[in-house]
Chains A and B, each alone.
Chain A
């Protein structure tokens, strides 16, 4: 028995819809995914590439290999940190940033060695700080303050990132922005802003959204990235003065069990927190920005497209050529989002536009007299 032609068409549409839904689920992380993956894909595919590896920022990582002969890896041995600071300073770095938390004492001679290395450094020293935003006790914050007073850094900056937080969806733990400081937070400047200030730039992040740099096309890392072993002479014999002279060197940890973050640039790779700080710092130094409307901005955009949708849905032409109009609208939305990112560094809230527009068209269509 042959199936009627119209049933075949229905079956084809059902199959197509099922495939679309499965692909959507495969490519996203659940119902809240589209809110973020469209901007993330835009950032990953269209962000500017560094034409040459950043000449200003260097990352120096303490790793498991650096500490393999020591009895503990947390907190990171402060004698090792003192030695790394000295090596970087002797190489002529302009600014040394330490992306570590100093909220507890360790071994006294090693704590003292680190404080001495920081005080004696010719480079400007910037330290990362915690404040009341972290669930740490007042004793820990007190020890941190005491450490800062004794180390006398040129600048202090908070180490907090921000994630997409919505009341109706789980966070996907992807770092897209640097946390804004509230009026009662002790440290108002972010670590990147503090590093930029120590390097002589008074610019702040224009928006909290990070304007990412992709690796250059020849495969170079975005930032010159060395391990602490290289700096301490345990690895290859490197021309450290040429590599670090006059630069901003961020010393940080790269361990699989802490301070690793997903970013819009990574599908499955996590990056150390220092990489995120370095991206924000490079953005400040290059004068780049990225604007992504959130909250009220998204609601206002969605509402505007809802009204536009109502107007369109009430047109007779929309009733007659609705498939062509829907296809054209989706194509226009994609092109607009690409153009707004490429030309104006603005991430269009495509999900809000899509939902607002679709609801508006439906509302306009069914409010016409012939449907009531």
Chain B
């Protein structure tokens, strides 16, 4: 009996976690990434940034907490050597 109760509680907890995550929703405010357009509504409260271009950024409003958050891709410059990725080295 206690095992069944334990299983039920675990199931409820997992469901609550999934529902809470699904309820979290973001609105894209600004984006330099083509896959995210301004005004898009996205589920969850995180964006996978590994596919972003160097220097790419997406700014969102998390509706549930009413906070703004910025997701950024890899940096274009290194603080140590100052190298640049994705941009021409010579100025025009």
Interface residues, chain A, with chain B CB atoms under 8 Å away: 26, 52-53, 218-221, 224-227, 230, 235-239, 242-243, 267-268
Contacts and interface: CB of A to CB of B under 8 A. Distances in A.
Nearest to A242: B66
Given A235-B38, A236-B29, A225 B68 contact: yes
B50 interface: no
B64 to A, nearest CB: 12
21 contacts: A52-B65, A52-B67, A53-B68, A218-B45, A220-B65, A220-B67, A225-B59, A226-B29, A226-B61, A227-B29, A230-B29, A235-B29, A235-B30, A236-B27, A236-B28, A236-B29, A237-B39, A238-B61, A243-B61, A243-B66, A268-B77
Nearest to B59: A225
Contacts of A238: 27, 61
Given A26-B80, A230-B29, A268-B77, A236 B70 contact: no
Interface in B1-50: 27-30, 38-39, 45
Given A235-B29, A267-B79, A53 B65 contact: yes
Contact of B68 (A26, A224, A235, A268): A224
A236 B62 CA distance: 13
Contacts of A221: 67-70
Given A236-B61, A238-B27, A267-B79, A224 B67 contact: yes
Contacts, number: 51
Nearest to B81: A26
A143 to B, nearest CB: 34
A361 B54 CA distance: 50
Summarize A's interface: helix, strand, loop or mixed. Answer: loop
Contacts of A218: 45, 69
Interface in B53-92: 59, 61-62, 65-71, 77, 79-80
B69 A220 contact: yes
Given A227-B29, A236-B61, 10 more contacts: A53-B68, A220-B65, A220-B69, A221-B67, A221-B68, A225-B59, A235-B38, A235-B39, A238-B61, A243-B66
A221 B57 CA distance: 14
Contacts of A230: 29
Nearest to B38: A235
Nearest to A237: B39
Contacts of B39: 235-237
B66 A219 contact: no
B69 A226 contact: no
A218 B44 CA distance: 13
B55 to A, nearest CB: 12
Q: Give 10 nearest A-B pairs by CB, closest first.
A: A53-B67, A236-B39, A220-B67, A236-B27, A221-B68, A225-B68, A220-B69, A219-B69, A267-B79, A224-B68
A50 B91 CA distance: 40
A53 B67 CA distance: 6
